Amino acid sequence: MASHPRNHPQSHRTSASGTFELKLVSFHTEHDGRQLAGLADQQTIFRVCLKQYQNAIDPNPPCTFGSRSLSIDGHQQSVNFGDRKDLDGPIQLPFSFTWPKTFSLIVEAWSNSSS
C-alpha cells in the first residue's frame, strides 16, 4: 500500500519571508545658518538601500534586498524623527527569501531643490 505524499518529510514545503526594519532616530548637519539661507524651497531626502554584502560597498543600485526614500519639505539642519508622526515608524523592507545573514546597508541624506 502506497502512503500519501503529505506523510513524507520530503514533501513539506517551506518558505522564508520577513521584514527588515530600520528606525532612524535623528539627523543633524554641521552646516551653519548662513549656509542654509535660501534653501527653504528644497527638500531633505533620505534614502535607505539594502543589498547583498559587499567588501567595498557600491552605493549605486540595484538595492537587491530593497530600498525606500522619504523626503521632508524645506531644508532641515536637524530632524528628530520621533517628533514627527509621519516619520516616527520604522522603515520597512519586506523580503521573501532565506535571510543571507550578511548584508550592506546604505543610508544617504541630501538636499534637493524642488523647483
18 DSSP β-pair partners: 95
Cβ contact 52:103 at 8 Å:
yes
pTM of the model: 0.72
Q: How do the domains of the chain map onto residue ranges?
A: 16-113
Q: Which CATH number fits domain 16-113: 3.10.20.30, 2.60.40.3510, 3.40.50.2000, 1.10.10.10?
A: 2.60.40.3510
Residue 33 has pLDDT above 70, yes or no: no
**What is the arithmetic mean of pLDDT over 95-107?**
93
- In the structure grid, which three cell numbers stand for residue 93, read together? 523592507
Between 36 and 83, whose confidence is greater?
83
